[in-house]
């Protein structure tokens, strides 16, 4: 890993593990609010998943992003326009962030019980 000068300057008050959590969380918040509202249908879902993945993998410390858009919801769209706006209940996302020797997997998933697209730490070491 290339340690940058700004790591020393701006992040000296947190641990490597905390940094991994921090960067993963930023990316998850960013992803949701950048792409919610995008027009989507069954036939464009593959391309949008890939574009979201590639965009968010550019962010600092992000090693990999997995995006799944719920095809069942898309297949049930029955307005006359044959598409919908991307919504929190259609998204299942994992973000792997790495800093130093530590990695964190941040997850976003719509939790039925909470009626809320929850972002949480699925795994961290």
Smallest gap from Cβ 87 to a second copy, in A, equals 8
Tokens of 84: 């919908």
Residue placing its CB nearer to a second copy in the complex, 25 or 73:
25
For tokens 């930023």, the residue is 26
Smallest gap from Cβ 45 to a second copy, in A, equals 10
117: number of CA atoms within 13 Å, CB side? 18
CB atoms within 10 A of CB 101: 10
Centroid of chain to Cα 12: 26
> Which positions touch a second copy (CB under 8 A)?
4, 6, 10-11, 13-14, 17-18, 21-34, 36-41, 43-44, 47-48, 50-52, 54-56, 58-60, 78-83, 85, 87-88, 111, 114-116, 118-121, 123-124
Smallest gap from Cβ 69 to a second copy, in A, equals 12
Q: Which uninterrupted H or E stretch holds 71? A: helix 71-75
């Amino acid at each position: 890993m290339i340690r940058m000068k700004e790591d020393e300057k701006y992040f000296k008050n947190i641990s490597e593990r905390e940094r991994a959590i921090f960067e993963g969380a930023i990316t998850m918040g960013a992803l949701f609010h950048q792409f919610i509202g995008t027009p989507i249908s069954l036939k464009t879902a593959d391309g949008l998943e890939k574009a979201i993945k590639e965009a968010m993998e550019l962010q600092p410390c992000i090693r990999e992003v997995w995006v799944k858009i719920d095809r069942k919801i898309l297949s049930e769209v029955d307005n006359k326009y044959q598409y919908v706006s991307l919504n929190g209940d259609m998204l299942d996302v994992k973000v792997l962030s790495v800093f130093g020797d530590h990695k964190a997997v941040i997850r976003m998933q719509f939790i039925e019980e909470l009626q809320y697209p929850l972002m949480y730490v699925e795994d961290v070491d």
